[in-house]
Amino acid sequence: MTETSDLVARRVTVDFTGVRADWNQVHPEFGHLTNAMSLMLPFMEPFFIKTMREAKKRLPAGPSALKRDIDLFNFQEGRHYSNHARLNDIIRAAHPEPVTEGEARLRADYQRYWARGHKFALAYTEGFETVAPLLCDYFFGNLHRFGLDSGEAAAYLWLWHVAEEHEHRTVANYVYHELYRDYRYRVFGILFATWHVFAFSLPIAGRTLLDARRRMTARERWHSRARYARLLAGMFGMFLPQLALRACRPGYDPADLEPHPDARALLDEALARFGEATPRGAGEPA
């Protein structure tokens, strides 16, 4: 395995002025599904940060490139969920009941997951971080189809987020192998994290979509259901073979995953548009 990866701590703050919960007019169903996923992140990513901080304590004493990467991984995850939390305020205002209920469920979920011990927490973290680079390729590969090239702030948030997920794709994997080296449990973590993401997001998206469809004509509702079915079929049709044939193999190394050619440019653009970079190796930025 490659020892480390090139990470940058980008202090990105997306401007959501004027953004609506139904921000995606090109593919509304994609917008509802990603909104539901966004609700998870202010609970999920602090869980990752807590897990990786504990992992850092368990690594061999002394400085290392992997420990520096943990610090930068945590910084990136912190910027992600803080931006998503502000988008979620907009989503909550539009759909208060399903969002409030969902957030209560997530709070309880992650309390239970932490109580299951560090090995479970790290396997869950590594499981999600195995799936996330696939989201990067899927999102960048369908920019126009999903309305992600619209210039909307929420679309930009997702592109920046998944591009950084691809950038730090090795960190949780390398930490897991350093501490536990349990192949079967790693596969369990991938399957459990994938199940948890969709077991939460699909029902929430279904509820917000149902509310949106009440304002549609019968023909529009039919087209909406067809688009959503194609979206889910395409997403699972991409994820499942990648996970089964590549990511779940014993010799899998996420460093072998090449970034989408547009992802690097997007990260550079994010700095110019919304933030500033912290030099690599500067420790965990505040």
Each residue's pLDDT tens digit, 37-53: 999 999 999 999 999 99
* Contacts with 53 (C-beta within 8 Å, 6 or more apart), sequence order: 70, 74
Each residue's pLDDT tens digit, 224-242: 999 999 999 999 998 899 8
Which pLDDT score, from 0 to 100, does residue 21 have? 96
Beta strand 9-12 pairing with 275-278? antiparallel
* CA contacts within 13 A on the Cβ side of 15: 7
Calculate mean pLDDT across residues 269-279: 72
User: What single DSSP character describes residue 251?
Assistant: T
Calculate mean pLDDT across residues 171-182: 97
Which pLDDT score, from 0 to 100, does residue 191 have? 96
Each residue's pLDDT tens digit, 62-109: 889 999 999 999 999 999 999 999 999 999 999 999 999 999 999 999
Which pLDDT score, from 0 to 100, does residue 63 have? 83
Calculate mean pLDDT across residues 192-198: 97
Which pLDDT score, from 0 to 100, does residue 166 have? 95
Average pLDDT along the chain: 92
pLDDT above 90: residue 36 = yes
Which pLDDT score, from 0 to 100, does residue 3 have? 52
Tell me what percent of the residues of the chain surpass a pLDDT of 90: 83
Closest alpha carbon to 262 in 170, 159, 157, 169: 159
Calculate mean pLDDT across residues 146-174: 95
CA 157 to chain centre: 11
Q: How confident is the model at residue 278 (pLDDT cuts 50, 70, 90)?
A: low
User: What single DSSP character describes residue 259?
Assistant: P
Tell me what percent of the residues of the chain surpass a pLDDT of 70: 94
Which pLDDT score, from 0 to 100, does residue 285 have? 42
Residue predicted with more confidence, 285 or 215: 215
Which pLDDT score, from 0 to 100, does residue 239 have? 86
